[in-house]
Chains A and B, each alone.
Chain A
Amino acid sequence: QVQLQESGPGLVKPSQTLSLTCTVSGGSISSGSYYWSWIRQPAGKGLEWIGRIYTSGSTNYNPSLKSRVTISVDTSKNQFSLKLSSVTAADTAVYYCARSPRWSVAGGGWDYWGQGTLVTVSS
């Protein structure tokens, strides 16, 4: 059974960089059959796709966040990571990592999700 687990600081200061890691277990991130995404959700609000990575290292980002986002993969650790720079209070949210089948350029729906981790941006 595939499991995803987010980890990282729960509190980040404004203007700093938010860094999260998603550890995948029960399957290899190198299998080549999936995209690995980050999705966030501010309290009481809807879902926002941040971006995704494929095992080759190719990425796609949300145009509204692209200038501040970097997603990377470490196949040796079966992990992928998110960095979001110059954070503000508006970046306070629950951050999820998720997997989607790589059927096409778009890929499929996210079939496995992490439990989510709350990141608060505050001084």
Chain B
Amino acid sequence: QSVLTQPPSASGTPGQRVTISCSGSSSNIGSNYVYWYQQLPGTAPKLLIYRNNQRPSGVPDRFSGSKSGTSASLAISGLRSEDEADYYCAAWDDSLSGHWVFGGGTKLTVL
């Protein structure tokens, strides 16, 4: 049972826009930044979004993040086949001396 809640799966067709939600609480998303990671099969996760809505250099602007209250979302526009991957949200949790928590991950399928 992950501290942050994500849908286990999402799907879309090429060119579509899909969103992945991440729900938390006041001790994590509600008071700290949200980060998103993309994990392709057999590889280490890759930082996709930092500080709620910032993209690292090299990440296409098709990827965007947002946060409102204790929830956050990752949006992918102009869906491409190479976007098929697992996506994880993460946030710092202020409880119990502080620690990082993850969502359970969302498997994105490009139909």
Contacts of A32 in B (CB 8 A): none
Contacts of A109 in B (CB 8 A): 35, 37, 47, 50-51, 90
Please report the C-alpha to C-alpha distance between residue A46 and residue B104 in the assembled complex, in whole angstroms: 5
Contacts of A105 in B (CB 8 A): 92, 98
B70 contacts the other chain (Cβ, under 8 Å)? no
Identify which of A7-15, A16-24, A60-68, A76-84 touches chain B: A60-68
Interface of A: prevailing SS? loop
The reply to whether A46 and B2 form a contact with Cβ atoms under 8 Å apart is yes
Contacts of A48 in B (CB 8 A): 102
Instruction: Give the number of residues in B that approach A within 8 Å (Cβ atoms).
Output: 26
Within 8 A of B (CB), among A84-123: 96, 98, 105-111, 113-116
Please report the C-alpha to C-alpha distance between residue A48 and residue B103 in the assembled complex, in whole angstroms: 9
Tell which of A62, A108, A111, A116 touches B99, judged by Cβ atoms closer than 8 Å. Answer: A62
The reply to whether A106 and B33 form a contact with Cβ atoms under 8 Å apart is yes
A46/B88 contact (C-beta < 8 A), A61-B99, A113-B45 known: yes
A47 contacts the other chain (Cβ, under 8 Å)? yes
A96/B44 contact (C-beta < 8 A), A63-B99, A109-B35 known: yes
Q: Which residue of A lies closest to B102 (CB)?
A: A47
Distance (Å) between the CB of B51 and the closest chain A CB?
A: 7
Q: Which residue of A lies closest to B106 (CB)?
A: A46
Distance (Å) between the CB of A108 and the closest chain B CB?
A: 6
Distance (Å) between the CB of A123 and the closest chain B CB?
A: 27
Which 3 residue pairs of A and B lie closest in terms of their CB atoms, listed nearest first?
A: A106-B92, A109-B35, A49-B100
A selection of 7 A-B contacts at a CB cut-off of 8 Å is: A46-B103, A60-B97, A60-B99, A105-B98, A106-B100, A109-B51, A115-B43
